[in-house]
Chains A and B, each alone.
Chain A
């Protein structure tokens, strides 16, 4: 099957530093593809290039076969690629409902409807409700975002990305900083993502990675040092040396 997201020899330089070094990466449809590596390995930089926040110095990116290398982030979202951020990026003055409705409205091309009511489409409201339930936000959907516990905010972060009806969902350290009491909910949410969404997951939490991933790529200093199934990666000596540690027993 053709990859749904692919990079070809992607390079990103910042002055003298090469943050992304010749990365060729392929995301198979429906897979849960983890991107691992030490801090500063360039994982978020790679995601920023995939989503269009940063322009690569060299190389090409294709989404479902179409070249998206030059497209702005907004355009890529419309083509089916959505992401979460390492630090929650939420609309603090809104409620979770409004935030989800915003993304849904954009998907329904209502962004320039000046005179439509926000609640004019019952189907959209139903979809918002379904998303809220999927992400366990139904009991605080009309509350202030600023008052949500951190775990719920993280759920909302993913919910907002999910509401864009993506083909490819990029999750940047979704479990980071989430207190233990709310972690299980979050992990369950991620595990329950539908099969027709392909997921790229950046994570440091190896527990989550090996539980969840169907494919793993290991990035060190901007270079791919290993790429394969979880079992292969766990056994890979280069990965163990650079990241997992000699004593890793996963």
Chain B
């Protein structure tokens, strides 16, 4: 392949500069994580809520990988949450109560399930995939229900007692250890996801989402990539499930219920899909909303969620997007960082 044009140094520096900027951590991001780490000092009474937010954020991050980046609509992501939760819970109950080992077990279990399911979501239309993912989640629910001797059925796994994280930090009642543990796992997995989605592989996933025809005409082997991203997403969701089981020391069928998958989609679209932070931000908003509404009308939380979904899709999203853009522009002007 002969190149008959010479390399323009100005162009090269534009290229390298652009790519370096994409990789950079903005001040806003760093501020966010520092704030998250400082939360035990700033809001010591909210550790349990913050722990739930961290776990939900990780779960939503995992959905972002397949929904935001790969464009796969899934109504059954709770299957992986449940796989991770039950695997970690059962491991702690019957084998070893060390949290990190349990985390690995839960993640591996969900990864295997994700790998198997990945083959099921390659083909078909949006509707087909919706159905298949929903079917898988329902299947998992029924399985957990049927084998209630193992899973505890509707009553759940009782009596989990977790050991100390790294052998040093015991889970305390106020939830500080739980929160810092969940936050660390969230951060590490965020780093992993960030690195992967910025790689050539990540770029090919976005290509598949944007234009499947062009992606395959560019040499991207679509089925393999989709299975890979689906498996990765399942792994992260499994980790979230394991954290859930370990920090609450309880797992029940509720973890596999349909509303988990449905609520998760709402969480992600509130925060925005496709840039990895959307799940975490959405989790914060969602949990705060839930807290606020639950204190007003505890039983009919579902109604307000439904109403929010309907309004959001009918036009709320556009309104929020415009508002969000203005806010982001303001913030960019305050901090050095990504292009305004």
Contact = CB atoms under 8 A, between A and B. Distances in A.
Q: Do the two chains touch directly in the complex (Cβ atoms below 8 Å apart)?
A: yes
Interface of A: 51, 53, 72-74, 77-78, 82-83, 85, 89-95, 97-99, 101-103, 105-107, 110-119, 125-130, 132-134, 138, 141-142, 160-161, 164-165, 192, 194-196
B196 A114 contact: yes
Contact of B203 (A90, A107, A118, A132): A118
A93 B206 contact: yes
B213 A129 contact: no
A244 B276 CA distance: 56
Given A90-B214, A119-B20, A98 B5 contact: no
A157 to B, nearest CB: 9
Contacts of A53: 213
B118 to A, nearest CB: 14
B14 A141 contact: yes
A192 B217 contact: no
A107 B219 contact: yes
B200 to A, nearest CB: 4
B2 interface: yes
B222 interface: yes
Contacts of B23: 117, 119
A115 B200 contact: no
B299 interface: no
A77 B218 contact: yes
Range of interface residues on chain B?
35 or more
Given A73-B216, A89-B213, A194-B2, A141 B203 contact: no
Given A78-B219, A90-B214, A134-B5, A126 B12 contact: yes
A88 B45 CA distance: 56
A106 B219 contact: yes
B196 A105 contact: no
Interface string B219-239: 111101100100000000000
Contacts of B199: 110, 113-118
A111 B220 contact: yes
A12 B18 CA distance: 46
Given A74-B216, A85-B213, A94-B210, A102 B15 contact: no
B5 to A, nearest CB: 5
A112 B224 contact: yes
A142 B5 contact: no
Nearest to A125: B15
Contacts of B195: 114-115
Contact of B225 (A91, A111, A192): A111
B204 interface: yes
Nearest to B224: A112
B304 interface: no
B197 to A, nearest CB: 9
B16 interface: yes
Nearest to A192: B4
A74 B228 contact: no
A196 B219 contact: no
A208 to B, nearest CB: 21
Given A89-B213, A126-B7, A129-B15, A112 B228 contact: yes
B181 to A, nearest CB: 25
Contacts of B203: 94, 98, 101-102, 105, 118
A113 B219 contact: no
B294 to A, nearest CB: 37
B19 A119 contact: yes
